[in-house]
Structure 1
Amino acid sequence: MASRRSLIRRTAALATAATAAVVLAACGSSNSDSPASAASGHSGRNMAAMSSASPSASVSVAQGSHNAQDVSFAQGMIPHHRQAVAMADLAPSRAKSQQVKDLAAKIKQSQDPEINTMSGWLKAWGEKMPDVGMSGMESSMPGMDHSGSSMPGMMSDGDMNKLKELSGAAFDRAFLQMMISHHQGAVEMAKTERAQGAYGPAMTMAKSIITSQSAQITEMNTMLGK
């Protein structure tokens, strides 16, 4: 009888020890301080950090895809184009030559969309838009208030007033002479962008301006008999 009770006690002790071992093992496997868990957690944190850093890196690359010359190009070419469009707007009611009217329409048709595109760049870059005064919109007519401009080819107040007062053959000749000078200035600005810019779309637009406006300069010189 005594031996039977002793056997029961030994069996119970062994069972208790086994249970304790299982509990300790379970606690040890869930311990976040274990090397395996630490490595896993560190790896997870690294992956999360890399994931969260990637968009920022992409944004930085996008924001760094243009330089100061690209900004200067857009800020200068917008009012330059606006003045050309203002000059072109005078042609339908003042020009005598249909060739001059057609040329003015082409200038407006090509430069209006470019103004919108460059305005979009500046907004996307968080850069200042050209002042309204630079385009002459505050004046009695668009395209004035440029006598103090340092941009090549820009007409002065006097030039714009003179053109506004002309009509017929006199307007045609003055328009062509002034627009040739204006285009030459735009080509000069575009060449600077090609040489010093970094933003692909701006450099592509600059190339287009050089090509199209150089061709129009040749066309206008022919119309003037040169």
Structure 2
Amino acid sequence: MTRKFLAGLVLPAVTALALAGCSTPVSHTDADVTFAQGMIPHHEQAVRMAAPVPRHTANAQVIALADGIAKAQQPEIDQLRAWLKEWGASSMPSSMSGMDHGAMTDTGDIDTLRDAAYDREWLRLMVEHHRGAIDMARVELAQGTNADAKAMAQRIADTQQAEVDKMTSLLG
């Protein structure tokens, strides 16, 4: 009788614990952390690249693109930082071994250019920069597990591909 009683208590408790363990999603993995840590400086560079545009050109389409980029990416930077804090991870990775350093763009002497010459160079550089972000987002989509990070990665891939298409058409 005692054995049946104990089995009646233990078995449901063990089953409940096992089921709870199976239904609790993993909040993040190393891939999610790497994505957030890499996308923060990448987005920060895009915001820095967008800031001087109105001082170098009167092209309304280029100015609108730059403004849209800055407005979209700053909130994402804030969200990525919040996730890293929630995950107990540093905003600065201890090793960037998993990151594509080529994803960051060398802006060279663009600050010396004006108007059409500036527009062409800025668009070229931003296309290159966006392609790096799209690649990073695809890695997150393939390897990450955090649903929110993957959703952001999909938005980044979709939005930045649309912007690449627009910038490429402006380049002719």
**Alpha-carbon distance in structure 2 between the residues aligned to 1:208 and 1:98:** 25
Which of 105, 120, 135 does residue 155 from structure 1 map onto? 105
TM-score (norm 2): 0.80
Q: After TM superposition, what 4+ stretches of structure 1 lie above 2 angstroms from structure 2?
A: 149-153
The equivalent of 1:93 in structure 2 is: 55
**Higher RCO (CA-CA < 8 Å; seq separation 6+):** 2
**Structure 1: runs of 5+ lacking an equivalent:** 1-34, 135-148
Which of 198, 207, 211 does residue 145 from structure 2 map onto? 198
TM-score (norm 1): 0.62
Cα deviation digits, residues 98-144 of structure 1 (max 9, x gap): 1100000000010000000000000111101127xx9xxxxxxxxxx
Which of 124, 142, 147 does residue 177 from structure 1 map onto? 124
Q: Percent same amino acid among aligned pairs? A: 41
Q: Contact (CA 8 Å) 1:96, 1:167: kept in 2 or not?
A: no
Q: Contact (CA 8 Å) 1:152, 1:189: kept in 2 or not?
A: no
Structure showing greater Rg = 1
Shift of 1:161: 4.0
1:112 to 2:74 alignment: yes
**Alpha-carbon distance in structure 2 between the residues aligned to 1:162 and 1:130:** 28
1:83 to 2:30 alignment: no
**Structure 2: runs of 5+ lacking an equivalent:** none
Q: Contact (CA 8 Å) 1:69, 1:197: kept in 2 or not?
A: yes
1:164 to 2:126 alignment: no
